[in-house]
Amino acid sequence: MRRLSLPKFARYQLLVHLAALIPLAWLIFDAARGNLGANPIQAVEQRTGKYALILMAASLACTPLNTVTGWRSVLRWRRPLGLYAFVYAALHFLTFLGLDYGFDVGLIWLDVAGKRFILVGAAALAILVALAFTSTGAAMKRMGRRWKQLHRWVYAAGGLVIIHYAWAVKADIRGPLAWGALIAALLALRLPPVRRWFARQRVRRRLQGR
Ligand code: HEM
């Protein structure tokens, strides 16, 4: 019998898709079993929001990981991870819109006016939408240099999500602070002098045969 074997690259890709989809399957499983606690809508909102943030940070970590280790294949994960972050953010928003407010735009309008954390979340989501819709190779070609400029906005989205998270949880801001520190560290690792320093270290290690 022939063994099914995937090339190494495809195996990693599969792993990325599985890692991104398992939280969704887990959420659906918990919902079907009535395992979402006393306030299931809030639980879905919190879990989809958290998964969106985790996947966004994972996508942002690809370039720094390449900077530090020189591992090039990791760069291929950036796009799928970013798109999954968008998918969870869209589910998060739809939960708010549909389950929380029954798509009652008037009611949302009345309520949102007093909730600054929703406005900040909406700004982050708007950036994620723009990035997701321009994530194709064709958009990259069409936009040329502007593509890179637009996709740098992912860090602004990261900052807005941290503010949104901190304002949503109100009292205990340890979680948002930890995530904020992680996103700031990932941004610092992208600064040209930092990248150059790591590149020099890699060359030095290679020359020393390590
Ligand atoms: C229009 C856009 C958005 C709306 C209406 C919205 C709505 C909400 C609401 C109502 C909560 C509070 C849930 C609760 O504890 O009662 C929340 C929390 C949260 N949202 Fe959003 N959000 C939006 C955008 C985003 C985006 C784009 C992200 C991430 C990429 C995100 C990530 C989070 C996180 C991490 C939390 C905290 C979850 C926790 O308490 O553990 N949100 N959001």
> What is the per-residue DSSP string for 59-88?
HHHHHHHHHHH--SGGGGGHHHHHHHHHHH
- By CB atoms closer than 10 A (0-12, 13-18, 19+), residue 84 is buried
Nearest CA, atom 37, ligand 1: 165
Q: What is the pLDDT along the chain (210 residues), one digit of tens a residue?
A: 556 666 666 778 899 999 999 999 999 999 999 999 999 999 999 999 999 999 999 999 999 999 999 999 899 999 999 999 999 999 999 999 999 999 999 999 998 888 999 999 999 999 999 999 999 999 999 999 999 999 999 999 999 999 999 999 988 999 999 999 999 999 999 999 999 999 999 899 889 876
pTM for the model: 0.93
CA of 56 to the centre of ligand 1 (A): 13
Is 112 strand, coil or helix? Answer: helix
Query: Which of 164, 177, 179 should be mutated for ligand 1, with most atoms under 8 A from CB?
Result: 164
Q: What single letter denotes the amino acid at residue 74? A: V
Do 165 and 49 meet the contact criterion of CB atoms below 8 Å apart? yes
Task: Report, in angstroms and rounded to the nearest whole number, the Rg of the chain calculated over CA atoms.
Answer: 20
Is 173 strand, coil or helix? Answer: coil
- By CB atoms closer than 10 A (0-12, 13-18, 19+), residue 174 is exposed
Judge if the beta carbon of residue 47 lies within 6 A of ligand 1: no
Please tell me the predicted confidence (pLDDT) of residue 1.
52
- The whole-angstrom separation of Cα 85 and Cα 142 is 24
Cα angle, residue 27 at apex, residues 26 and 28 outer, rounded to 5°: 90
Judge if the beta carbon of residue 165 lies within 6 A of ligand 1: yes
Please tell me the predicted confidence (pLDDT) of residue 31.
97
